[in-house]
Amino acid sequence: MRVAVISAEAVPYSKTGGLGDVAGALPKALKSIGIDSVLITPCYLQTKGEYLWDTAIHDLNIDWRGGVYRAKAFYSEANGSPTFLIDAPSYFHRDSIYGYSEDHERFAFFNHAAIVLLKRIGAAPNILHLNDWHCGFAAVEIAEKRRWDPFWRDTRTVFSIHNMAYQGGFSAGDLWKFGFGSEFARNAFAFNGYASAMKAGLEVSDTLSTVSRRYAMEIQTVENGYGLDWLTRQRAHRLIGITNGVDYEVWNPETDPELPEHFSIDDLSGKAECKRALLQAFSLPVEMDRPIFANITRLTAQKGIDLMMQVAGEILNAGAYVISLGSGERRYENFWQSLRDYAPRQVGVYRGYNEPLAHLIEAGADMFLMPSKFEPCGLNQMYSLRYGTVPIVRAVGGLDDTVQNWDAVSGTGNGFKFGPYRADRFLEKIYEAIYAFGDKEAWRTIQRNGMTQDNSWENAARKYVKLYEWTLS
């Protein structure tokens, strides 16, 4: 079986969030279980030149918007599996990866270029695995092409939803520019008077998946369907949830090159050294008995920052440290900054994106806060589990699938979990965690329960192979 994974971002070439982690790791995991896979992703200004091989460059003349766009495709195996990077400077050599008014055009082009490239390589994939709204365009193009182009006749599409809240909406008048003038295409994109790339992907792909079992149900509800719940319900028989994995070659406290000392389930002494280094990195006084609560995230409403604002004062009153790494909406950045100004000996804040620091925080913190409003999967809670950092999460999406609430009587559970989106419920769990932290033996059990949980990509990749087989049948 040949699989082509298409994604707007993929580690190590580009990353703004979990999609990058997933799209980088899945092809490698597929390869390790014997699936012939190729990844196609854009070559951004942010993509490091060292990853791009200067051999095997394809020059691509792409028919686009009534003319020809001369693009290139670089080849790389920097993520451990064959990858082509579409180089189209006017679209992708920009200061940031997303956030432009013509993002829909940039990714429509990327999708078309990926399809041109696959044909140029000469072997049609059996499965075209598309990710999020950025790839809705390819779903439509393939659905149309396989009616008349024998090359694509046996290709089937799998569309994975990583976040229903981002749907790639644009003016329907633009559809003609990108070659989507047919009635079939226009209907596929049509959504409330404009065009939606997410809706098109959901409607015409052969099968659908999303990144946790619980989120697969949640997107069928009005609350989490963002106007498309009717469509996910309509196609529920073709939709499954597969919880993301963790790339344990990158996130492993026994080998992580970003850590001052390594540690494992049997010997956690190195974790104490990481905690010391973390406090020092933020110029905080080193008091090892005080717990560190940490958070690493895009600062958006999705991540429950509003709840954190409600409980931060109480965490500080309890004598704990709070560390935040993230950037995003101004109001949330301001909140963290002013919290730090208010308690500079207890609060550490880094505004921005910093991969090495993310590793040190996962290793050095005691608890990880993730009170998300919604969370399709979430990766940080799984990194936390492996690093002996106890997650405190809201029971939604992948957080619910991967974190089990601690039960002191049975000694089961790997974290703390609350239900309603309410500050008092969140705070209750924070206090429970502080209490358990004081009981060294209990804490060790919670950590052990988390560190032994297997969230490897190999498990997830096998489920994707089943999905591909199902799609082909």
423 φ/ψ angles, rounded to the nearest 5 degrees = -60, -35
Determine the interface stretch with ligand GLC among 15-23, 178-186, 363-371, 420-428 (rule: CB under 6 A). 15-23
Which residue of 10, 114, 231, 379 would you call a contact of ligand GLC, by CB under 6 A?
A: 379
Q: Does 328 bind ligand ADP (CB under 6 A)?
A: no
Report the distance separating Cα 163 and Cα 376, nearest Å: 6
Report the distance separating Cα 453 and Cα 360, nearest Å: 21
Q: Is residue 282 a contact partner of residue 436, using CB atoms and an 8 Å limit? A: no
Of 377, 387, 275, 253, the closest CA to residue 323 belongs to 275
Determine the interface stretch with ligand GLC among 12-20, 109-117, 232-240, 418-426 (rule: CB under 6 A). 12-20
- What is the nearest approach in angstroms of ligand ADP to the Cβ of residue 265? 22
Of 308, 304, 302, 310, the closest CA to residue 322 belongs to 308
Which residue of 278, 379, 393, 399 would you call a contact of ligand ADP, by CB under 6 A?
A: 379
Binding mask 138-167 toward ligand GLC (x if CB under 6 A, else -) reads ------------------------xx----
Site for ligand GLC in 209-248 (CB under 6 A): 211, 244
297 binding partner (options ligand GLC, ligand ADP, none; Cβ < 5 to 8 Å by kind): ligand ADP
Which residue of 24, 364, 371, 378 would you call a contact of ligand GLC, by CB under 6 A?
A: 378
Could you give the angle at the alpha carbon of 439 between the alpha carbons of 246 and 364, nearest 5°? Answer: 40
- List, as one string, the DSSP characters of 228-274: -HHHHHHTGGGEEE----B-TTTS-TTT-TTSSS---SS--HHHHHH
Give the residue with the Cβ less far from ligand GLC, 308 or 377: 377
Report the distance separating Cα 115 and Cα 178, nearest Å: 14
Q: Is residue 323 a contact partner of residue 358, using CB atoms and an 8 Å limit? A: no
Q: How many residues bind ligand ADP (CB under 6 A)?
A: 18
Give the residue with the Cβ less far from ligand GLC, 166 or 180: 166
Report the distance separating Cα 138 and Cα 120, nearest Å: 16
Site for ligand GLC in 454-473 (CB under 6 A): none
Give the residue with the Cβ less far from ligand ADP, 21 or 256: 21
- What is the nearest approach in angstroms of ligand ADP to the Cβ of residue 419? 20
Site for ligand GLC in 330-359 (CB under 6 A): none
Which residue of 325, 347, 367, 433 would you call a contact of ligand ADP, by CB under 6 A?
A: 325
Determine the interface stretch with ligand ADP among 188-196, 253-261, 275-283, 354-362 (rule: CB under 6 A). 354-362
- What is the nearest approach in angstroms of ligand GLC to the Cβ of residue 378? 5
- List, as one string, the DSSP characters of 129-155: EEESGGGHHHHHHHHHHHHH-GGGTT-
Q: Does 361 bind ligand ADP (CB under 6 A)?
A: no
Determine the interface stretch with ligand ADP among 16-24, 106-114, 230-238, 419-427 (rule: CB under 6 A). 16-24
Structure tokens at 228: 């498309």
* β-strand partners of 129: 5, 158
211 binding partner (options ligand GLC, ligand ADP, none; Cβ < 5 to 8 Å by kind): ligand GLC
Q: Which residues contact 5 (CB under 8 A, 6 or more apart)?
A: 23, 26, 27, 30, 37, 38, 39, 40, 129, 131
Report the distance separating Cα 261 and Cα 248, nearest Å: 17
Determine the interface stretch with ligand ADP among 17-25, 29-37, 341-349, 445-453 (rule: CB under 6 A). 17-25
Of 349, 292, 296, the closest CA to residue 321 belongs to 292
206 binding partner (options ligand ADP, ligand GLC, none; Cβ < 5 to 8 Å by kind): none
Q: Does 93 bind ligand ADP (CB under 6 A)?
A: no
